[in-house]
Structure 1
Amino acid sequence: MNTIPLPQGNYRPAKRHADIIYTAGMTPRREGVLIQHGPVANDVPLSEYREAVMLACANAIAAAHSLLMPDEIVADVLSMTVFIASRSDFTAHAQLADYASDYLLERYGSAGIGARAAVGVISLPGSSPVEIQLVVAAGKASP
């Protein structure tokens, strides 16, 4: 499990209300350091961003897991927003976001696939190429 990324400002990595956990937007930071900088370039194969997208998603999952009780699991991924720093002529947002969806599908099966938005933006914190925010439902672990 990834360690919970330290906030880069005045916010919490995740917040829980009842059984719903909302994560802050998470960038691909490992031990506080971005592993890749953006924006996503049209002339670079999308596979070059795979690790960054998956790490941002793993960081969001780590933030969500930090609010689970010992007998709970992530029962359902309700929503994922994938922000992609890109130029106006970039059009492969959905394909890049699929790396995060694939990560969640592999980890949680069909419960890992929820609603999703892939959004192009001009810049992200720290010049990150991607930022991911999740909404998940907590549930009891099977005995």
Structure 2
Amino acid sequence: MSAEQRLLALGLQLPGSSAPAGNYVAAVQSGALLFLSGKAPSAIDGRLPKGRLGREFDTEQGYQLARSACIELLATLRKELGSLDRVARVVDLHGSLNTTPDFEDHARVLDGASDLLAEVFGAAGLHARSVVGVASLRLGVPLTLKAVVEMHPGSSPQG
């Protein structure tokens, strides 16, 4: 089953890809690698989620927020490549979490994104990753994700 077919089977519809929030681009290609800029979770009832993990959001809510931010990454990926089927593998995932100093469930929160990548891409969605807790993030969002993916030979962003 292809990544696009898995996405349909999961009942997920990707939003339109949001524009960069500053002077940068959504993705940069280097060889067969595509580096995706950071994405925050989707708006809930028209409002961007704001707050810290360990205060406004617990671990399970963080898991869902990471899944939401991963959906935003997938939307950017589809916009750049035209189809998720052009992804050979997810290479790396990085999460920055806006946390209280005593929050310790970073890995479990980022599993929200990692689990989704495995659901959509199968074995090709298994990746290296890192996650850090930070004192603040732009606009007070609870987390951001960025990723590196490998494209199938001959693939390139649609530009």
TM-score range, shorter chain: 0.7 to 0.9
Deviation digits for residues 7-32 of structure 1, max 9, x if unmatched? 1111111111222110111001349x
Structure 2 Cα separation of the partners of residues 70 and 98 of structure 1: 24
2:49 is aligned, of 28, 32, 36, to 36
The runs of at least 4 consecutive aligned structure 1 residues that moved more than 6 Å come to none
Identity in percent:
27
Structure 2 Cα separation of the partners of residues 3 and 76 of structure 1: 22
C-alpha displacement of 1:70: 6.3
Question: Using a 3 Å threshold, how does the CA distance of structure 1 residues 103 and 2 change in structure 2: closer, same or farther?
Answer: same
Is there any run of 5+ residues in structure 2 with no aligned partner, and where? Answer: 1-13, 154-159
C-alpha displacement of 1:46: 1.6
> Contact conserved, 1:65 with 1:74, CA < 8 A, in 2?
no
Tell me the equivalent position of 2:63. 50
Matched, 1:119 2:132: yes
Matched, 1:22 2:35: yes
Structure 1 Cα separation of the partners of residues 85 and 51 of structure 2: 36
- The two structures have a TM-score, normalised by structure 2, of 0.78
Question: Using a 3 Å threshold, how does the CA distance of structure 1 residues 112 and 89 change in structure 2: closer, same or farther?
Answer: same
Deviation digits for residues 52-102 of structure 1, max 9, x if unmatched? 211111111222222226695111000000110001111100010111100
Deviation digits for residues 92-114 of structure 1, max 9, x if unmatched? 00010111100101110111111
Structure 2 Cα separation of the partners of residues 44 and 23 of structure 1: 26
| Greater CA drift, 92-101 or 10-19 | 10-19
> Contact conserved, 1:34 with 1:128, CA < 8 A, in 2?
no
Structure 1 Cα separation of the partners of residues 83 and 58 of structure 2: 41
**Paired residue total:** 140
RMSD: 2.4
1:7 is aligned, of 20, 35, 40, to 20
> Contact conserved, 1:5 with 1:29, CA < 8 A, in 2?
no
C-alpha displacement of 1:6: 1.2
> Contact conserved, 2:43 with 2:49, CA < 8 A, in 1?
no
Tell me the equivalent position of 1:97. 110
- The two structures have a TM-score, normalised by structure 1, of 0.86
More helix by share: 2
1:75 is aligned, of 65, 85, 88, to 88
Question: Using a 3 Å threshold, how does the CA distance of structure 1 residues 48 and 70 change in structure 2: closer, same or farther?
Answer: closer
> Contact conserved, 1:54 with 1:100, CA < 8 A, in 2?
yes
